[in-house]
C-alpha cells in the first residue's frame, strides 16, 4: 500500500458548508479515486482554517497552498494539475496580502508534514509481544548490551540528560536529573519503579506499550537500574490491564531464561530483577509516593515531601520512579544517541509525545508525533476534523487533572515550555476534543466530581474543597448560583493548589481555574441570565437553548 504523501483539508466551518463545502469535499474524494490517488492523498475536514476570506477553501498539505473560494467544478483542475502533476493552479489560489496565499500555522512547518514519528511505539504492532526472539530481531536488548559492556553508569545518565528527555507522565521533570539524584544517593539497596498505573480518564497510551512491546520496558528498567545502582525493580500496573500483566509476566520469564534479567547480565556482574505489582483501582496511586505506599502493603496515600523518593522511597531506600512512556524512550536514546533524539521535537522539549484522541472528532485513537505539534494540526490531520462539521470549542489535555484549552490557544505548540508560557499544562497526553455543544459548567462539574470521589481524604483542602466546589457548580448548573459562588470557586481553586498535600489536590482546581479564565461569560450566563447557552444544563427544571 502506498503511503500518504499529501492531504487536502477542506474548510468545514458553518459559512463554508453554507457555500457548498460538502460538494467540494465529495468532489475531491471522487477525483482522487478517479486518478488512482486515494492511497496517496487523504481528504479531511478542517474545522477552522485560521482565515475566512475565501470560503469554501481547500488547503493542500504540506505545501500549505490555499485554493478558494471553490466550487465542485474547480476540483477536477486542482486534482489533475496539482495533486497528480504537482503544478500549482495559480488562478484558483486564494488571494492574500500575506504569505502569498499561504497560512502562517502551515508555513511554520516549512513544508513538511508533521507525520507520526514512532519511538515509543516503534515496535508496537510490528513484533509478536509474546516472543522475545522477535524483539531481539528488532534491535531488542542491544541498548542494554551497549550500556553494560561499553558505558559506565555515569555515561548512561549523561546520555539521558543530554538528550533532554522529560517525564511523560505529566510533570515534565528532566529524566536525567532524576536519575542523577538517585545515583548520587549512597545506599546499598536501591529500587527502580515503572509507574504503569494509567488511571487518568481517557488515557490508554501506556497500555499499548505494555501490551505491544513489554520487553522495551524491561530493557529500559534494567538500563536505569544499572545507571543508578539499583538491583531490583517493580512495575506497578493498573489492575484492569489483565492482558498487559499477562504479557509482562511472560516477558520477564523469557528475559530470565536468556540471562537478560537476573544474575550476571551479559557476564558483567550486574544483577537486576523485576516484579509486577497489580494496583487495586485507586486513582491516587498514580501519585508516586502513594504508589510506593501501596507496594509496601499500606493504604494508598501520598507521603509528605520532602524527603523525596530519590532519597527515601520504597522501604525508605533511594527509588527511581518513571512513567511507562518515559522509560520507553530510553533504549532508543542509548542506541542512537542524544544528538539524534534532540533532532526530533523542539529544542527545549525534544522527542515525541504519544496522544490519545477522543471526543467530537471524526477519527479517535492514538498517535505518536514530534513535540511541538499544534492542537489545530492534531484535529485537522489526525482526527480528520470535527464531527458533523461542528466548531471546535475546547480541548482538555491530560485527563481530569489536565488543562482546558480554548480555541484561541489551538495554534500554541504542544510542548512543556510553550504551554507553560500560555498558562496551561500538557499533562499525560489525553486529548478530549469538544465542540460548541459542550457546556463548560457541566464539564467542570463532572471533572470536580471525579476528584471529589477519588480524593484519598488525607488532607482537608482536597477532601473538603472538592466537595464544596462540586456543590457550587451544581447550583450554577441548576440556575440558582450567585456571583459570590464564583468568588468562592476562585478561593477554593487557590487553596487547593497552595495547600493540598499531593499533586491530585494541587491540580484538582485546574478545571475551575481554566473555566473561569477562558469561559467566564458562559458561566455568568448561567448565573445572571439563568440560561445555559448550550442547552445542556437543566435550568430550573427545563433546558434552554
Residue 299 domain boundaries: 132-340
Residue 52, pLDDT score = 66
Domain contains 118: no
Residue 544, pLDDT score = 45
Question: With left for phi above 0 and alpha for psi between -120 and 50, is residue 292 left, alpha or beta?
Answer: alpha
Domain contains 17: yes
pTM: predicted TM-score of the whole model, two decimal places: 0.83
Extract the C-alpha cell encoding 297.
502493603
CA 264, CA 275: separation in Å to the nearest integer? 18
Residue 7, pLDDT score = 82
In terms of domains, do 327 and 356 share one? no
Which residues of the chain, if any, have pLDDT below 70?
Answer: 1-4, 47-52, 96-116, 540-545
Extract the C-alpha cell encoding 94.
486564494
In terms of domains, do 294 and 235 share one? yes
Residue 540, pLDDT score = 58
CA 121, CA 322: separation in Å to the nearest integer? 17
The CATH number that applies at residue 333 is 3.40.50.11540
Residue 142, pLDDT score = 97
Task: Give backbone dihedrals phi and psi of 426, rounded to 5 degrees, phi first.
Answer: -75, -40
Domain contains 116: no
CA 226, CA 249: separation in Å to the nearest integer? 21
How would you label 27-58 residue by residue, b for 16+ Cβ within 10 Å and e otherwise? bbbbbbeeeebeebbbbbbbbbbebeebbbbb
Residue 275, pLDDT score = 98
Residue 104, pLDDT score = 47
In terms of domains, do 430 and 446 share one? no
The CATH number that applies at residue 513 is 1.20.1440.230
Residue 9, pLDDT score = 87
In terms of domains, do 216 and 260 share one? yes
Q: What is the 3-state secondary structure of 395-422?
A: EEECHHHCCEEEHHHCCCECCHHHHHHC
The CATH number that applies at residue 428 is 3.10.20.600
Q: What size, in residues, is the chain?
A: 545
Residue 542, pLDDT score = 47
The count of structural domains within the chain is 4
Residue where one domain finishes, among candidates 340, 372, 407: 340
In terms of domains, do 178 and 293 share one? yes
Amino acid at each position: 500500500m502506498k503511503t500518504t504523501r499529501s492531504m487536502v483539508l477542506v474548510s468545514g466551518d458553518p459559512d463554508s458548508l453554507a457555500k457548498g463545502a460538502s460538494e467540494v469535499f465529495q468532489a475531491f474524494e471522487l477525483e482522487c479515486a478517479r486518478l488512482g490517488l486515494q492511497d496517496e492523498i487523504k481528504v479531511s475536514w478542517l474545522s477552522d482554517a485560521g482565515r475566512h476570506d475565501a470560503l469554501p477553501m481547500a488547503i493542500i498539505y504540506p505545501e500549505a497552498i490555499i485554493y478558494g473560494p471553490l466550487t465542485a467544478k474547480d476540483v477536477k483542475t486542482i486534482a489533475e494539475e496539482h495533486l497528480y502533476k504537482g503544478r500549482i493552479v495559480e488562478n484558483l489560489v486564494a488571494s492574500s496580502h500575506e504569505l502569498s496565499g499561504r497560512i502562517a500555522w502551515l508555513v511554520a512547518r516549512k513544508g513538511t508534514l508533521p507525520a507520526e514519528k514512532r519511538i515509543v511505539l516503534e515496535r508496537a504492532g510490528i513484533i509478536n509481544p509474546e516472543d522475545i526472539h522477535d524483539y531481539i530481531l528488532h534491535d531488542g536488548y542491544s541498548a542494554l548490551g551497549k550500556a553494560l559492556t561499553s558505558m559506565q553508569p555515569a555515561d548512561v545518565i549523561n546520555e539521558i540528560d543530554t538528550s533532554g528527555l522529560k517525564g511523560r507522565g505529566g510533570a515534565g521533570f528532566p529524566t536525567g536529573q532524576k536519575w542523577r539524584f538517585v545515583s548520587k544517593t549512597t545506599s546499598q539497596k536501591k529500587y527502580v519503579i515503572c509507574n504503569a498505573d494509567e488511571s487518568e480518564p481517557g488515557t490508554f497510551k501506556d497500555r499499548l506499550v505494555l501490551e505491544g512491546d513489554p520487553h522495551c520496558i524491561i530493557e529500559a528498567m534494567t538500563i536505569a537500574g544499572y545507571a543508578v545502582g539499583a538491583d531490583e525493580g517493580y512495575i506497578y500496573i493498573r489492575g484492569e490491564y489483565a492482558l498487559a500483566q499477562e504479557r509482562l509476566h511472560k516477558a520477564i520469564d523469557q528475559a530470565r531464561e536468556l540471562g537478560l534479567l537476573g544474575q550476571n547480565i551479559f557476564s558483567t556482574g550486574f544483577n537486576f530483577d523485576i516484579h509486577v505489582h497489580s494496583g487495586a483501582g485507586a486513582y491516587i496511586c498514580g501519585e508516586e509516593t502513594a504508589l510506593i505506599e501501596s507496594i509496601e502493603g499500606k493504604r494508598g496515600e501520598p507521603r509528605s515531601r520532602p524527603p523525596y523518593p530519590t532519597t527515601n522511597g520504597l522501604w525508605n531506600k533511594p527509588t527511581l520512579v518513571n512513567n511507562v512512556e518515559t522509560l520507553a524512550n530510553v533504549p532508543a536514546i542509548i542506541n542512537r544517541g542524544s544528538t539524534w533524539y534532540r533532532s526530533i521535537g523542539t529544542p527545549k522539549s525534544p522527542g515525541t509525545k504519544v496522544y490519545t484522541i477522543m471526543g467530537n472528532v471524526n477519527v479517535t485513537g492514538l498517535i505518536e508525533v514530534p513535540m511541538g505539534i499544534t492542537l489545530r494540526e492534531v484535529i485537522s490531520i489526525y482526527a480528520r476534523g470535527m464531527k458533523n462539521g461542528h466548531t471546535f470549542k475546547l480541548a482538555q489535555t491530560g485527563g481530569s487533572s489536565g488543562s482546558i484549552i480554548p480555541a484561541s490557544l489551538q495554534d500554541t505548540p504542544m510542548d512543556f515550555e510553550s504551554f507553560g508560557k500560555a498558562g496551561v499544562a500538557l499533562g499525560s497526553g489525553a486529548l478530549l476534543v469538544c465542540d460548541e455543544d459542550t457546556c463548560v459548567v457541566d464539564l467542570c462539574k463532572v471533572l470536580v466530581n471525579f476528584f471529589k470521589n477519588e480524593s484519598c481524604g488525607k488532607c482537608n483542602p482536597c477532601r473538603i474543597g472538592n466537595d464544596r466546589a462540586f456543590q457550587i457548580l451544581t447550583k450554577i448548573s441548576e440556575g440558582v448560583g450567585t456571583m459570590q459562588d464564583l468568588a468562592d470557586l476562585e478561593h477554593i481553586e487557590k487553596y487547593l493548589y497552595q495547600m493540598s498535600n499531593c499533586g491530585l489536590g494541587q491540580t484538582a482546581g485546574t478545571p475551575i481555574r481554566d473555566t473561569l479564565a477562558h469561559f467566564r461569560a458562559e458561566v455568568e450566563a448561567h448565573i445572571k441570565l439563568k440560561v445555559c447557552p448550550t442547552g445542556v444544563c437543566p435550568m430550573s427544571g427545563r433546558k434552554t437553548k
